[in-house]
Amino acid sequence: MKPAARREAAQYAQQTYELSERRAGRLIGIGQSSLRYRSRRPDDADLRTRLRTLAAERPRFGYRRLGVMLEREGISVNHKRLHRLYRDEGVAGGL
């Protein structure tokens, strides 16, 4: 079970059974720091839509070449992040 799912289960236990945060965490088997964790990852919605439109215009281009096109537009993206988004969007075209 992933930490996000454990967090949700602990929150459910807290609300449903009126447990404290500590007890709910102990019941589910998750530490307090993991229970209180909030992701700081920025929203990728704009980048995802731009990547999808570029990939639709140029179906034969891979993520590296699309990354160059994004850089020319002034959008700087780490290559690992770009590859993850490219894979998640399922825009790999080709023949």
Question: What's the pLDDT tens digit per position in 43-64?
Answer: 999 999 999 999 999 999 999 9
Q: DSSP letter for 20, please.
A: -
- Helix ranges restricted to H, the chain: 3-17, 21-28, 32-36, 45-57, 63-72, 79-89
CA distance 62 to 66: 6
Q: How many independent structural domains does the chain possess?
A: 2
Q: What are the tens digits of pLDDT across the range 63-93?
A: 999 999 999 999 999 999 999 999 999 987 6
Looking at the fold, whether 30 and 51 belong to one and the same domain comes out as: no
For residue 49, give its domain range: 45-89
Residue type (1 letter), 34 = S
Question: Is the residue at 95 inside a domain?
Answer: no
Whether 64 and 81 map to the same domain: the answer is yes
Q: Is the pTM for the entire model greater than 0.75?
A: no
- Please indicate, yes or no, whether residues 51 and 80 belong to a single structural domain of this protein: yes
Note whether 32 and 54 are same-domain residues. Answer: no
Q: Is residue 94 part of a domain?
A: no
Whether 84 and 52 map to the same domain: the answer is yes
Least Cα distance to 10 among 66, 2, 21, 18 occurs for 21
